[in-house]
Structure 1
Amino acid sequence: MITLLLQIFLIVLLAHVIFSWVPRPPEPLMPFVLGVRRVVEPVAAPLRRAIPPLRLGGVALDLSIIVLFIAVRILMGVTSRLGL
């Protein structure tokens, strides 16, 4: 059950990354975009404060999201081995 929830969170996290690339999502998608942000931001915000973005010229790479992806994948591995 926990592994399934982590898989769903991973999909929501991927949607968050994709939506972050779109400067202005279409209006019909805005409720979905806001819902994805409400799920991801409470988890990503503390990481973002601890891990500053990596500056690559005029672009900043949010490393907290990458760390979150890795952490969720590790948790998925642990929970699947435990049968959760």
Structure 2
Amino acid sequence: MKKGKHKKDPRFKIAEREAWIGIGLVLFNFIWWFGFAYGMGSGPADEYTYIMGLPAWFFWSCVAGFIVMVILVTAAVKFLFKEVPFEEGGESE
């Protein structure tokens, strides 16, 4: 295999783009979680507000964060990701 051959295959460009989208989603998820968990949860426990019996910081960081991420990942896969054949040379027969 010639060095640098994968640069000519357009599948690698698509895969790299989709990997960056995945990294962006992970970073967004971490910032969301960290911001709510430590932003709202760093105060005294007797000052917490509650949503559905859960501390608000936990609800927003874990419950709502999960729902937001499911929606974002679904949208990314549906609208940003492309179907790519695994076989070298195009579509399977």
Q: For the superposition of Structure 1 and Structure 2, which TM-score range results when normalised by the shorter chain?
A: 0.3 to 0.5
TM-score (norm 1): 0.37
TM-score (norm 2): 0.35
User: Which structure has the larger Rg over C-alpha atoms?
Assistant: 2
> Which structure dedicates a bigger proportion of its chain to helix?
1
Q: Between the two structures, name the one with larger relative contact order (CA 8 Å, sep ≥ 6).
A: 1
